[in-house]
Amino acid sequence: MYLKKRHLEILREMKKTESQAEIEAKLPEEFQIRAIELYILGFAELDGGKIKLTDAGRNLLEISDSLNLDELPEVIADTEIMKMLELLEETGKVPESWLEKLKERKLADENGLTEFGKALLVLYRETHPVVYLTPEIVSFLRGMPKIGTLDELVTYKNSKLYGDNIVNALQAMRLLLISPPTEKGRAFATTPAAKLALKAVGMIPVFARAIVLRKEDFEALKAGRSNAELESMGLTDEKGTTEFGKAVMETYEAMGRVEEKVLPIYLLDDGLAVLKAIKEIEEKYETNPDILPTEKEIARRVKVEDLGAILHLLESKELVERKLVKNKDTYWLTEWGKEAITFGTVSPDAMKAVTYAESGDVPIAEWVIRAQEEGVVKAGVTDKGRFYLKLSRSIKRKPFLTRYDAAILAKTPRKKYIHRDELVELVKDYVGGDEKEIIRAIGEAEAKGFVVELQNGMVKLTELGDKVKTALENAKLQEIVKVKFSVTPTLYNVLKVIYDNIETFNRIWKEKGEVKGYKMEEVDVIRKHLSLSDDEIKKALTMLRQLGFLGSKSLTEAGKVLVEAYL
């Protein structure tokens, strides 16, 4: 979206005349550029010397009819303003500086969105922009950095002597998004549709004319129809829609589409150190099979605060796998783990810069700067960023809950947003800890899929987070928040074996004999399904009962909900 006051002035003149010459005589300033932007936005049709209102243009005129244009700033709405508007609608709260910008444009007031703000958001969602790719636009798009801070984009634009109209056109086509300002400034990202546009024009040996695709053209191609204009652009030929035509159609379909975000993976210094220690042991094992990557052997090679927790966390991300070897519990690198050593550490915020951009949303400057610092983003997504994006998309996460995760889930309300600062204070009051630790834990809880934090700092539960919260509430929550980590991949795997074989366990529990921490019959069944030592199975059963996921002779509701949350 890119809407200027001048666009509305032109639209108001169009009620009186369709003659471009007449309107340009009244409003000469950059008329041709503004007319093309109205065309790209889907608000006007350009036909010879005429400029005609579309249905969307008439709607825009209607919803803005009562506005005094003299009271509005030059730019009424761009991708930055629309993101503020969306976040205010979704969460009910944006920073005061954002709200002031929305108020200046009559899009919001103290009570939230105004009628104009609501109507513009509806129009934005219902109006599809036109594909309008000129050689100049494509040249800019090819050469520009694909994600970064706004300063970098401005520097590129000025160094190549491009005008603002190129950036405006890319925003109008939803090929470029600019974030609202935060403490570190503003960020930008090209969208998946931009990538498809470049792929499409890459099919043309010489790109010398504008490629245009309107809604009616798209429908014609979809129905297998052609005309002279479509053929002249190379979108169709005697056989039907060309491969180039299909690629341009893909671009059209992707414009403005926001997909579900991938959960951002993370790997911190202590996790990387453990992976390296395991690699060292595996290399020794090749010549001396008596040296195994047990927790004790790993501890000899790396000093970290809580090795057990880190091993569980790495297992939850499929970076290591746990195996029983020579009756010892051991940890081995997966192929993912081996590659992660090569690429090094990455934080949740750095990966959010990539996952947001890849989904068609815009990251904030803080995430982009972190991604640049960590080598995840340069002029675009780096090999490191692509690896961790692929890992984030491919793995099936296993549950791992720290006491912070439990506290975050306990204090995040259902079906509404809470600001991160408020959540930090609630967690601190509940389980202690310092602010920096808790902020990091919220980022990690997001990477685990429990919560989502938006660009305005508002946090809410995900569907998974809601289910896990229910499980914790049905278990012994006060006991859970006292332990460093309450649910590990091992505990979950044991619980799932019980869930999958509940009839067998019901028979065991009916047999005489007390069940305190565990029964050997339970251990025997679990051993058949999991590569774990008897000691680890016993510890898992005892822990599950202490925390309320398993009763003395039953699978509790909490245990059932927890297993089903990850199915």
Count the Cβ atoms, other than its own, within 10 Å of residue 389.
Answer: 20
What average pLDDT does this structure show over 52-64? 94
> Residue 261 has what pLDDT?
86
pLDDT tens string 280-304: 999 999 999 999 999 999 999 999 9
Confidence of residue 256 (pLDDT cuts 50, 70, 90): confident
| pLDDT bucket at 354, cuts 50 / 70 / 90 | very high
Give just the sign of the alpha carbon dihedral 310, 312, 314, 317. negative
Q: What is the pTM of this model?
A: 0.90
Name which of 240-254, 308-322, 506-520 the model is least confident about.
Answer: 506-520
For 90-103, b/e burial (b = at least 16 CB within 10 A) is ebebbbeebbebbe
Tokens 């003659």 belong to 19
Q: Quickly state the pLDDT bin for 507 (edges 50, 70, 90).
A: very high
Provide the CA 296 distance to its chain's centre, in angstroms.
38
| pLDDT confidence band for 30 (50 / 70 / 90) | confident
Q: Say whether pLDDT at 495 is over 90.
A: yes
Q: How confident is the model at residue 259 (pLDDT cuts 50, 70, 90)?
A: confident
Give the pLDDT band of residue 84 (cuts 50, 70, 90). very high
Burial of 401 (0-12, 13-18, 19+ CB in 10 A): buried
Tokens 């605060």 correspond to: 305
Q: What would the pLDDT profile of 154-171 be if each residue is shown by its tens digit?
A: 999 999 999 899 999 999
pLDDT of 512 higher than 90: no
pLDDT band for 305, please (50, 70, 90 cuts). confident
Q: Which of 258-267, 377-386, 539-548 has the lowest mean pLDDT?
A: 258-267
- Whether residue 440 is predicted with pLDDT greater than 80 in this model: the reply is yes
